[in-house]
């Protein structure tokens, strides 16, 4: 499995698991390029981003590594009810916090789709935002020992 296939597999499973979240299913899902996933104005979005590909165990011969570790960010963006003219309702804030935890649990369940022949290390879930009308969370996972491309 290459890094993109791994990211796409996690994206698909994340969408399935988010259907059980208190915040509900997402409307958009992607494998996202770049060094971040912006807080797009479209809410209910999930993304998996390839954050790093790190060589492991330098190989012999051509000097290529024998395997790679792939760091992936799982991202969920949700709508944030924002009315700058008044203080947010504390019950609404509590509900949003519970929904964030429920999204984090969905991310944890989604990581179980990583094939058994790979080791993986989950990272911390971190809340993001609110930025404008979007808030959410990011969780990182490192998948170890993906096969390296062969030397020519």
7-55 per-position pLDDT tens digit:
999 999 999 999 999 999 999 999 999 888 887 766 799 999 999 998 8
Q: Which structure tokens are listed for 135?
A: 């808030």
49 vs 149, more confident: 49
Q: Which domains does the chain have, with CATH numbers?
A: 3-147 (3.30.2000)
59-88 per-position pLDDT tens digit:
555 666 678 899 999 999 998 877 666 777
CA distance to 32, 49, 97, 102, per residue, from 106 (Å): 19, 17, 14, 6
**Residue 130, class by beta-carbon neighbours within 10 Å (0-12 exposed, 13-18 middle, 19+ buried)?**
middle
The pLDDT assigned to 66 comes to: 74
The pLDDT assigned to 39 comes to: 76
The pLDDT assigned to 145 comes to: 85
Q: What is the number of alpha carbons within 13 Å of residue 111 lying toward its C-beta?
A: 23
The pLDDT assigned to 151 comes to: 54
**Residue 41, class by beta-carbon neighbours within 10 Å (0-12 exposed, 13-18 middle, 19+ buried)?**
exposed
């Amino acid at each position: 499995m290459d890094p993109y296939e791994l990211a796409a597999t996690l994206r698909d499973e994340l969408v399935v698991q988010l259907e059980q979240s208190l915040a509900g299913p997402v409307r958009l899902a992607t494998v996202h390029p770049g060094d971040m996933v912006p807080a797009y104005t479209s809410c209910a979005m999930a993304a998996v981003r390839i954050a790093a590909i790190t060589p492991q165990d330098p190989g012999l011969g051509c000097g290529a590594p024998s395997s790679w570790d792939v760091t992936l960010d799982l991202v969920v963006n949700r709508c944030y009810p924002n009315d700058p003219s008044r203080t947010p309702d504390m019950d609404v804030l509590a509900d949003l916090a519970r929904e964030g935890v429920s999204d984090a649990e969905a991310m944890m369940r989604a990581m179980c789709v990583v094939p058994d022949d790979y080791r993986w290390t989950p990272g911390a879930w971190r809340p993001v935002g609110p930025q404008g009308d979007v808030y959410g969370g990011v969780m990182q996972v490192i998948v170890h020992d993906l096969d390296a491309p062969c030397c020519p």
